[in-house]
Amino acid sequence: MADYSAAIELNPKSAAAYAGRGITYQSMGLQDKAFADHNKSIELNPNYALAWMNRGNIYSERNQFDQALSDYNKAIALNPNYPVTYYNLAELYAKKNDPSEVCKWLERYAAFDTVDKEYIKHDKVFDHFRNTACYKKIFSDR
């Protein structure tokens, strides 16, 4: 936290420093402060996909699904090669109890070679989807 705040003090136009501090605030449960920092990051650099994705996470945690979906879609448009955004979309649709969308986004997440596919098996948000054909297919060859 201190390092990000110092970076902001040195360069108040650093979108990355605001996003990093926002992520730190999120991990501490300080969602309002995180939200403000992600907003500032987006204001400074509207093309910074990580800030859009993390603000989407806050919206999702607040059950503001339309706003979360909008931010996740923006993040994907800016950086389609960041798998965590696809995972977050799957979680959002799990909260909305939409199995077809859960599978769609989990499949896109699992298609990346660099992701921890085992993590999906233990994320409780997907408990209600483990017996679906799509979920089983995702793990059938793993």
Instruction: Look up tokens 């907003």; give the residue.
Output: 39
Position 22 scores a pLDDT of: 97
d(CA 69, CA 106): 15
For the ranges 55-69, 102-116, 119-133, the one whose mean pLDDT is highest: 55-69
Compute the average pLDDT of residues 97-114. Answer: 91
Q: What is the pLDDT of residues 17-40, one digit of tens each?
A: 999 999 999 999 999 999 999 999
Position 135 scores a pLDDT of: 84
In Å, how far from its chain's centre is CA 109? 12
Kindly report the length of the chain: 142
Q: What is the pLDDT of residues 68-102, one digit of tens each?
A: 999 999 999 999 999 999 999 999 999 999 999 99
Confidence (pTM): 0.90
Q: Answer whether residue 117 shows pLDDT above 90.
A: no
**SS3 (DSSP) at 91:** helix
d(CA 54, CA 112): 20
Compute the average pLDDT of residues 116-120. Answer: 79
With cut-offs at 50, 70 and 90, classify the pLDDT of residue 141. low
